[in-house]
């Protein structure tokens, strides 16, 4: 059997410990699959004495994880520290400059610094692998970079954050509001004490930037992603969505348009019969619309110790086999600086909910504003009478531009008969 692949692990949180456990439990199986042992030679974390579900006694302890970059006793640095900058970024930069392969689950770092790090890896003839950074255990990076490499991708979209998907699923199934379901998710450990990263769409935006880079051969541009979270989604909107034949999902969507590369994360109404609408709870789902292979649907657990560790170890197996591919699917010199498409140019259909005073002429006022902005109504729901009191009006539009809808809603929101800011959710035709 060939010499071992020597691995140093930086970061011993939930995922880091799961990686150590998986490598130990499946040691013989993994060695048989790649023809050489995978050996952990060193570990590093902030607190050596912290209680962990695995023993770290068999491994050499290193106080400063950054020193693993030049350590001659390892071939691969497994970065599981996290964070877009700081120790994680310094460690990865130094490791790549030293010619070591790097495996990371750090989507924030790659979404911001991915092009720079890919150039470092290519210049030094080494590997930067990140399967675990997008959609947990779903092998979407490998699928885009290898299995679907013969295809042009028309659009890629998906549910990329399990916390938000769990909340929206529970809201639909129970009728409870966002705040109540979020509190439950925090008690169950599905949401962090500060859930902003998840429910405000930032986590999904990091992942979408990486998917778009892989799908369209460009540099990751987190700063070019339009981001909107789920805090404003109300039970009444979920109920109306069901009545109209939709479910509400937080989607990340990327596609090339005549205006440039459109990258957006926001709540979407998706047809209930679409495969992505069936992805529930903490699961993730990704759909790649391929020119020749057709739509490809991937679903699985997008987070958690086991699925993420599975993806990390899969990257280690590729390195052990000698697999070396361009980080984002094409050589760095061929990466395109796609022009970001302004969100104002987006074309689509929209769901609008208005709370209005029930009196004659209100609907005519609203329709006049929509007419002025060349927006056509596809469906309208208005029930019951409550003269002089607040009632909901729900409508969906035919396809229009984001700019036209934004301008129309600003005028509608200023009408004396409209009592609350209009609620708008984009409809994604799938």
Q: Which residues carry out catalysis?
A: 207
Determine which helix (DSSP H) or strand (DSSP E) holds 19, and give its type and residue range.
Answer: helix 14-25
CA distance 30 to 123: 30
Q: How many whole angstroms separate alpha carbon 374 and alpha carbon 259?
A: 21
Rg (CA), the chain: 24
**Spatial separation of the C-alpha atoms in residues 188 and 229, rounded to whole Å:** 21
Contacts of 427 (CB under 8 A, 6+ apart): 246, 268, 269, 348, 349, 350, 351, 396
| Neighbour-count burial of 93, counting CB atoms closer than 10 A to its CB (0-12 exposed, 13-18 middle, 19+ buried) | middle
Give first-to-last CA distance, the chain, whole Å: 50
Q: Check: CB of residue 162 under 8 Å from CB of residue 283.
A: yes
Sign of the four-CA dihedral 220, 224, 225, 227: positive
Q: How far apart are CA 110 and CA 212, in angstroms?
A: 12
Distances, alpha carbon 356 to alpha carbons 234, 240, 371, 396, in Å: 17, 17, 19, 16
Pull the structure tokens for residue 375: 């927006």
Tell me the pairing of strands 283-290 and 153-159.
antiparallel
Question: Which tokens hold the place of 63?
Answer: 């106080």
The secondary structure of residue 418, as a DSSP letter, is: B
Secondary structure (3-state) at 194: coil
CB 225 within 8 A of CB 209: yes
Residues in the chain: 430
Indicate if the alpha-carbon torsion angle 182, 188, 193, 195 is positive or negative.
negative
Please check whether residue 43 is in contact with residue 8, taking contact to mean a CB–CB distance below 8 angstroms: yes
How is residue 46 written in tokens?
């902030």
């Amino acid at each position: 059997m060939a010499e071992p692949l020597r691995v140093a692990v930086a970061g011993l949180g939930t995922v880091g410990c799961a990686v150590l456990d998986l490598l130990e439990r499946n040691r013989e199986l993994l060695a048989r699959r790649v023809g050489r042992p995978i050996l952990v030679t060193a570990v590093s974390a902030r607190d050596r004495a912290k209680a962990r579900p695995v023993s770290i006694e068999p491994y050499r302890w290193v106080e400063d994880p950054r020193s693993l970059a030049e350590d001659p006793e390892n071939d691969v640095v497994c970065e599981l520290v996290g964070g877009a900058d700081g120790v994680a970024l310094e460690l990865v930069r130094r490791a790549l400059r030293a010619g070591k392969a790097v495996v990371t689950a750090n989507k924030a770092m790659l979404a911001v610094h991915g092009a720079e790090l890919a150039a470092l890896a290519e210049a030094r003839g080494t590997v930067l692998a990140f399967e675990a950074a997008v959609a947990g255990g779903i092998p979407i990076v490998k699928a885009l970079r290898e299995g679907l490499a013969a295809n042009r991708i028309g659009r890629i979209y998906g549910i990329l954050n399990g916390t938000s998907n769990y909340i929206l699923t529970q809201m639909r199934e129970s009728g409870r509001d966002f705040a109540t379901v979020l509190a439950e998710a925090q008690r169950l450990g599905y949401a962090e004490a500060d859930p902003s990263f998840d429910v405000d769409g930032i986590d999904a935006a990091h992942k979408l930037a990486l998917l778009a880079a892989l799908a369209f051969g460009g540099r990751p541009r987190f700063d070019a992603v339009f981001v909107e979270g789920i805090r404003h989604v109300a039970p009444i909107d979920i109920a109306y969505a069901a009545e109209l034949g939709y479910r509400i999902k937080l989607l990340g969507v990327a596609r090339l348009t005549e205006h440039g590369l459109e990258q957006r994360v926001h709540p979407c109404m998706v047809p209930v019969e679409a495969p992505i609408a069936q992805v529930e709870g903490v699961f993730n789902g990704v759909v790649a619309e391929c020119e020749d292979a057709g739509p490809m649907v991937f679903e699985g657990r997008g987070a958690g110790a086991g699925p993420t560790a599975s993806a990390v170890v899969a990257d280690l197996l590729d390195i052990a086999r000698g697999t070396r591919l361009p980080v984002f699917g094409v050589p760095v010199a061929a990466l395109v600086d796609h022009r970001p498409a302004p969100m104002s140019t987006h074309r689509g259909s929209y769901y609008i909910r208005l709370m209005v005073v029930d009196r004659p002429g209100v609907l005519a006022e609203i329709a006049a504003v929509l007419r002025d902005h060349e927006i056509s109504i596809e469906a309208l729901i208005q029930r019951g009478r409550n003269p002089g009191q607040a009632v909901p009006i729900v409508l969906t539009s035919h396809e229009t531009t984001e700019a036209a809808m934004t301008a129309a809603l600003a005028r509608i929101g200023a009408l004396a008969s409209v009592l609350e800011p209009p609620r708008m959710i984009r409809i994604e035709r799938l």
